[in-house]
Chains A and B, each alone.
Chain A
Amino acid sequence: GAVVSQHPSWVICKSGTSVKIECRSLDFQATTMFWYRQFPKQSLMLMATSNEGSKATYEQGVEKDKFLINHASLTLSTLTVTSAHPEDSSFYICSAWAGGLGYEQYFGPGTRLTVT
């Protein structure tokens, strides 16, 4: 099956710094990638939808200047958490969609971010 990787799998950073998370589709081209955030014991919250070569579409309430998304190629999307605060500590998961008639999105393993 299709594989999506995320890097890093976990990261600890200091308050005020920026962190970049990469999401790669390893064996298929992803026309669309999604970024989710999940707090403990809560469900996945969609943050934004990114398409290769165009600006990401952010969900209501998600600050686009704080969570920078770049979908540079059909196999790579990055999420940068800028000026991180402790409340940004969360589990960030990306997923990739090959598009067309396919319906399944393939999830990455997630990145655990802790801001101290």
Chain B
Amino acid sequence: GQNIDQPTEMTATEGAIVQINCTYQTSGFNGLFWYQQHAGEAPTFLSYNVLDGLEEKGRFSSFLSRSKGYSYLLLKELQMKDSASYLCAVRVESGRDDKIIFGKGTRLHILP
């Protein structure tokens, strides 16, 4: 089966750095996404990793190790608006079309 694990909740301070980890056990792995989701809204795309290594995009970076089934999302210079759920999602091969399986999400609370 497919399994994606990430912490349920995390708390960090405004201006600080936080790392959200994600581990996965899936078959037909074809890439890993990170999404941000505010309550009552649809997810918004943050990053996509398909090769090992670090992808940096402004204050957000995402890392992938395929051999370890591990990824993390790194958020720097935290702002209050970063308070949201962060969803790790894996793209898996599935017949005609790939599909995306989501982890349970990590609720990040930012303290002033």
Chain A contact residues, CB within 8 Å of chain B: 31-32, 34, 36, 41-46, 49, 51, 57, 91, 93, 97, 99, 103-105, 107-110, 112
5 A-B residue contacts at CB 8 Å?
A44-B43, A44-B87, A46-B100, A49-B97, A109-B41
Q: Which of A36, A45, A57, A105 contacts B95 (CB 8 A)?
A: A57
Total A-B pairs in contact (CB under 8 Å)?
51
- Residue of chain A at shortest CB distance from B101: A46
Q: Determine the main DSSP class of A at the interface with B.
A: strand
Chain B contact residues, CB within 8 Å of chain A: 31, 40-45, 48, 50, 85, 87, 91, 94-97, 99-105, 107
Across-interface contacts of B102 in A (CB, < 8 A): 36, 43-46
Assess whether B42 is in contact with A108, with CB atoms less than 8 Å apart: yes
Assess whether B99 is in contact with A34, with CB atoms less than 8 Å apart: yes
Q: Which of B42, B87, B95, B99 contacts A43 (CB 8 A)?
A: B87
Across-interface contacts of B107 in A (CB, < 8 A): 41
